[in-house]
Amino acid sequence: MHERHTPSEPDVLDAPTETDVLVVGSGIAGCATALAAAREGADVLLVTKATRPEETTTHWAQGGVAIARSDPESFEQDVLAASAATADPEAVAVLVDESREAVEDVLVETLEVPFDRVADESDSAGFDYAREAAHSEERILHVDASTGKHVRGPFLNHLDAHERVTLREDTAALDLIADEGRVHGAVVETDGETAPVFAGATVLATGGIGALYERSTNPATATGDGIAMAALAGADVEDVAYVQFHPTAYAGEDPFLVSEAVRGEGALLWNGDGERFMPDYHEDAELAPRDVVARAVADERERTGEVALDVGPVEFAGEFPGLAAKCEARGVDWREGIPVEPSEHFLCGGIAVDDRGRTDLDRLFAVGECARTGVHGANRLASTSLLEGLVWGLRAGESAADESATGLDHDRVDAPDCRDSDPDLPEGFAREKFVRLRRVMDDRVGLRRTPEGLERATAVLRRLKGEVDAYTRTRTSRSLYELRNASVVALLVAREAMAAEPVGCHALADAEEVTANASD
């Protein structure tokens, strides 16, 4: 068993840094990028604002990693069907075709992730494949229901020991260094000190936008940093209207995700009237696509007061000991059912990239949840996020290393100024504005949306961004820049949702169908 990665003390930045490849973010996508670039002979600097494994979305991932088995075509069809036929077939083909090789190379052979196995080795490796919603067969590798933490720690340990990789934790990227359509690195901050990092190629792997919502299955660090920095530098951003909500997050204090794998093993959803309701919403019942189940759970909670996940048909404590322990720690008797509600889970869009992770800015790449590869379209199939991060991370790392080989070209480029004048920033400014932003996103740009609500949200978010910009023009701080990034991305989501096709995660309702409870 791998020991959990222990972060080292952060380096203090007191001078400009140069590297072949700069990777921003330390989830599976960032780690895969760093590994692939280092394998190609590039010197890699990986910076992450996380200081603990729990601060990355990868660590929080429960379900597992889907891979192609005997029928790759069925995997492709499942991805396309879950997306409501909006995913890019060519991107899906890349994901499926490279899934097994990428997983075997990195996760099984290099990191030795202890995926659950079965005694009866019908599979050549004896893996205990699971099935989740909208999958037509068992194809998901997993470790209990806590796969992510068994990937991220070992991955960082491996990179920490690599001679070509330097890790710098508790380090936030604040701005890209861009000039005339080319990115030359980023300005980063560690322990209050800021300095430029110049790079032959820069890769954004900053995760999602969960911190923009009050209830999310993401860590609080998921403030949309990479998407905002790329958009501000001029990169295209696509499909950000499609924000996926997971249907079964614990509906109490200190929420946690109840993995879709539990429903894959047979758990059922019951409303407050004691009725199993999912067969009335979809022929696949509890295993319908996530957007369908999430809206059904929300509807039934509103109609009957609550929804509970009945794990009676499952060997819950034996199959999912980690989840059972989380229930018990919160005083939940899972034998009586786990109260659940939808929570923000995954952004299907992001920075537009090609099949190598390239953006439309020269030398800038994006991978993982902050990127829009086309794989997910309007709705993501379960257990494809870690796989997408791995596959595109490996591809982007190779290409970034190749492009960085032409050398640095920053002599004529100035890094953005780090402003340190103090405009008497009000105490608690960032915290209070985040509360306001989350309220608007929850009420107007959440699971249920109306044209009128989106128009109102756009106006409120535009004003909020203006208030934040007034301070970022004269002051540099991590918390303020995270707020700036969150406000930029929130506005992008709301604006795109006003014009996006209402399909998958983005379902518009008439105003009278949604309770107008916003207080913005």
Residue 366: pLDDT band (50, 70, 90) is: very high
Burial class of residue 123, CB neighbours in 10 A (0-12, 13-18, 19+): middle
- Average the pLDDT over 424-448 and give the result: 90
pLDDT recorded at residue 143: 87
| Lowest-pLDDT choice from 21-35, 50-64, 192-206, 342-356 | 50-64
Q: Quick check: 345 pLDDT over 90?
A: yes
What does residue 307 show for φ and ψ, rounded to 5 degrees? -135, 135
Task: Output 11 or 192, whichever has higher pLDDT.
Answer: 192
Q: Quick check: 258 pLDDT over 70?
A: yes
**290 catalytic, yes or no?**
yes
pLDDT recorded at residue 251: 96
Compute how many other C-beta atoms are within 10 angstroms of the C-beta atom of residue 280: 10
* CB 346 within 8 Å of CB 245: no
* CB 355 within 8 Å of CB 230: no
Percent residues over pLDDT 70 in the chain: 88
- Strands in 237-238's sheet, in edge-to-edge order, are 237-238, 350-352, 371-372
| Average pLDDT of the chain, as a whole number | 89
CATH for the stretch 247-342: 3.90.700.10
The CATH architecture that domain 429-513 belongs to is Up-down Bundle (1.20)
- Concatenating the DSSP letter of every residue in 409-427 gives --TT-PPPP-------PPT
Task: Please state, in angstroms and rounded to a whole number, the distance separating the CA atoms of residues 481 and 490.
Answer: 14
Location of structure tokens 């595109």: 392
Burial class of residue 108, CB neighbours in 10 A (0-12, 13-18, 19+): middle
Task: Please state, in angstroms and rounded to a whole number, the distance separating the CA atoms of residues 219 and 217.
Answer: 7
pLDDT recorded at residue 396: 98
Taking CB atoms within 8 Å and a gap of at least 24, the contacts of 90-96 are 90/355, 90/374, 91/355, 91/373, 91/374, 91/375, 92/374, 92/375, 94/355, 94/391, 94/395, 95/373, 95/375, 95/384, 95/387, 95/388, 95/391, 96/68, 96/72
Q: Quick check: 187 pLDDT over 90?
A: yes
pLDDT recorded at residue 12: 44
Going from the C-alpha of 236 to that of each of 233, 349, 360, 453, 484, the distances in angstroms are: 9, 11, 7, 25, 18
Q: Quick check: 484 pLDDT over 60?
A: yes
Task: Please state, in angstroms and rounded to a whole number, the distance separating the CA atoms of residues 486 and 210.
Answer: 10
Domain boundaries, the chain: 17-62+146-242+348-404, 247-342, 429-513
| Lowest-pLDDT choice from 49-58, 134-143, 210-219, 324-333 | 49-58
pTM above 0.85, yes or no: yes
Q: Quick check: 122 pLDDT over 60?
A: no
* CB 118 within 8 Å of CB 408: no
pLDDT recorded at residue 518: 42
- Please count the helices (runs of H) and the strands (runs of E) in the chain: 15, 16
Q: Quick check: 54 pLDDT over 70?
A: no
- Average the pLDDT over 282-308 and give the result: 95
Q: Quick check: 411 pLDDT over 80?
A: no
- Average the pLDDT over 346-373 and give the result: 98
- Average the pLDDT over 30-50 and give the result: 96
Residue 61: pLDDT band (50, 70, 90) is: low
Residue 119: pLDDT band (50, 70, 90) is: low
Q: Is 65 left (phi over 0), alpha (psi -120 to 50) or beta?
A: beta
Tell me the CATH number of domain 17-62+146-242+348-404, given options 3.30.2350.10, 3.50.50.60, 3.40.50.2300, 3.30.70.1560: 3.50.50.60
Q: How many residues does the chain have?
A: 520
**Active-site entry in 263, 290, 358, 372:** 290
